Amino acid sequence: MTTVGYGDITPSKSSKTEMVVAMLSMVLGTTVFAHVITAVMGMVINFDPAQRQTKQALVQLNDYMKEKRLPTAFRRQLRDHYKHFQELGIDAVYSYNRSVFVVTKDHRCFATGENTYNKMAFQSGDPAYGLTTVPTFEEITHPTLQGQIAKVGVGWGHCMYLLTDGTIWGCGYNAHGQLGTNNNTNSQVPVRPYDNYEMVTDVDCAHVWSAWIKNGQVWSCGNNDHDGNHNRRQGHNNNSTNSRQPRQWLTYHFSTADRLLLADDQSWMIDTTGMLSATGHRGRYRLRNNTNTYLHYAHKCQGPNNSGYMTDVVDIGGGRQWVVILAKDGKVYAGGYGSPGMLGQGNHTSYDYPLRVKAPEGSGYTYFDVMVTVVQVGGAYDTVYAIDSEGGLWSWGDNGNMQLGHSFDQSSVSLPARVDTGGRHVLRAYRTHPSHGLYWLFVPGFGFLTKMCAYLNESPTWFLVGERCKEIEDS
């Protein structure tokens, strides 16, 4: 204190030098003091960085709600939902045939819906143990899986769980060898495939078969002859024999496999270069290299308008003998079986090659991807959906059970139509069953999850993961 003139020693009023030194001392002391306080505050804040990020996101949410002038009651509801889901940190949702699995960022997994053959791996003492239908989201607590699940491949009566250490475990129905255990014995507890497969990077399941990527190559097991149609959908031999142990796909036309998509009678694979390959159904309603016969190995898919090959693929969705494709340049294509309207061409015509999806009538645009910027595509069975960069959800195809989520009563929709989500921004969308509708995750504008919605035959049901299922009145 004495150096700045507040103690026993003060600068001389007649000495400019002493006055300058005193002022510089004050500035330097204040700067050092501020720096020390800032450093201490930073240490205190970083004691819990997750809480700090949560508070920052909450500030963003409040700013967003204020900008949009949302009703007070709805603002309070959004805050509550955000805090709830922020605690869980939902990372992904996987679904098939009335079953839904939610994986959190800390690799916990919650499941609800159909639980045939205990494919959800519940054990004695769990609330859902012994139930064939699980009415609420329950956590999978089996010691082999709990807190280690990175992805879930969901089939009709079985599941394949990819863990964070790169290993896979199967559980449930195994009559066709879909668990890869070299037998057809069902298992109500997680089991390893034959030969203890490790270093797995992706896994997927369909009705009664499974596939995964190990060291850049695809392996599959289970039923290879769905409904006796000699589909050869597993791509590892030239016959329709089921495989009880994993077999490697014949890899004539792709490099390192990156992502899988399995459907009931065909399979799709994107390699690390963005090349799309397919194998499976023998009918003409499937993408292939200019052939109308089944393929017993993964073959490069035809390019747009039957020219070249389908490259630079970033996202795909597929159902019964059709596929929808999102390319790197933002264009959206669809090809294969066209009835009732899955190809988005305004008709029910089928094509052996992909065509650009058209824009809705009256929009003033020719193509859907010119009207909006598409960031995700997907679908299952005979239903297609897409999400644009503004969080808008679009769907088309079969609507016999009102599963597309539209207010109008049409049995099919052959061009993209916007789903009314009440102004909510959709993050991801999912399909689970032919007679059920779209499940979607939506966000209030900038990336975090608030709810998951399912449309089941026109009845909107709101699911809160980790709580009892209940309906919530929309504000």
Instruction: Note the pLDDT of residue 284.
Output: 37
Q: What is the mean pLDDT of residues 290-300?
A: 59
Residue 73 has pLDDT above 80, yes or no: no
Instruction: Note the pLDDT of residue 248.
Output: 83
Residue 332 has pLDDT above 80, yes or no: yes
Instruction: Note the pLDDT of residue 243.
Output: 79
Most confident of 143-147, 250-254, 298-302: 143-147
Residue 380 has pLDDT above 60, yes or no: yes
Instruction: Note the pLDDT of residue 182.
Output: 92
Which one has a higher pLDDT value, 65 or 155?
155
Instruction: Note the pLDDT of residue 436.
Output: 46
Instruction: Note the pLDDT of residue 76.
Output: 75
Which one has a higher pLDDT value, 356 or 437?
356
Round to whole Å and give the CA distance between 421 and 442: 9
Which one has a higher pLDDT value, 432 or 396?
396
Which one has a higher pLDDT value, 352 or 427?
352
Residue 462 has pLDDT above 90, yes or no: no
Write down the mean pLDDT value for the chain: 76
Which one has a higher pLDDT value, 62 or 61?
62
Instruction: Note the pLDDT of residue 98.
Output: 76
Instruction: Note the pLDDT of residue 472.
Output: 28
Q: What is the mean pLDDT of residues 361-372?
A: 95
Q: pTM, whole model, 2 decimals?
A: 0.72
Confidence of residue 152 (pLDDT cuts 50, 70, 90): very high
Instruction: Note the pLDDT of residue 11.
Output: 73
Residue 289 has pLDDT above 60, yes or no: no
Confidence of residue 435 (pLDDT cuts 50, 70, 90): very low
Residue 314 has pLDDT above 60, yes or no: yes
Bridge partner list, 160: 153, 170
> Tell me: the pLDDT tens digits for 96-119?
877 888 888 889 998 888 899 999
Instruction: Note the pLDDT of residue 59.
Output: 78
Confidence of residue 238 (pLDDT cuts 50, 70, 90): very low
Lowest-pLDDT choice from 214-223, 288-297, 352-361, 419-428: 288-297
Q: What is the mean pLDDT of residues 426-443?
A: 51
Which one has a higher pLDDT value, 443 or 195?
195
Which one has a higher pLDDT value, 56 or 236?
56
CB-based contact 144:180 (threshold 8 Å)? no
